[in-house]
Amino acid sequence: MNQPTYVDEFTRDIAFSPASTALVVVDMQNASGSREYGLGRLLAERGTLASAAYRFDRIEQLIVPNTQRLLDCFRSLNALVVYITLGPTMADYSDAPAHL
């Protein structure tokens, strides 16, 4: 018999009511999460984009796909989805901090 892994040992099934549960998506923005815009563009212009490869790899390979899976699930259940955007609101990011 296999020993449970750390993840198996601490993972539990959950149940929720779509009528009383919301998915809150916080700060999924190109300004700070894209290699091509905002922070990614700034790092590329400085020639230091490779220094943030781990960050952008995790965003692209884990955060975005898992967020999409959650969104698909909540939408299929007609559950509420709320987006919270922190930071710049202008399309050209002119109101963003300098590092973005």
Q: Containing H/E element for 66?
A: helix 64-76
pLDDT tens for 13-40 read 888 899 999 999 998 888 788 999 888 9
pTM exceeds 0.75, yes or no: no
3-state SS, residue 26: strand
In the block, tokens 């796909």 appear at 65
Burial (Cβ within 10 Å: 0-12, 13-18, ≥19) of residue 32: buried
pLDDT tens for 44-93 read 999 999 999 999 999 999 999 999 999 999 999 999 999 987 777 788 87
Q: Which two tokens stand for residue 88?
A: 């710049």
pLDDT computed for residue 21 by the predictor: 93
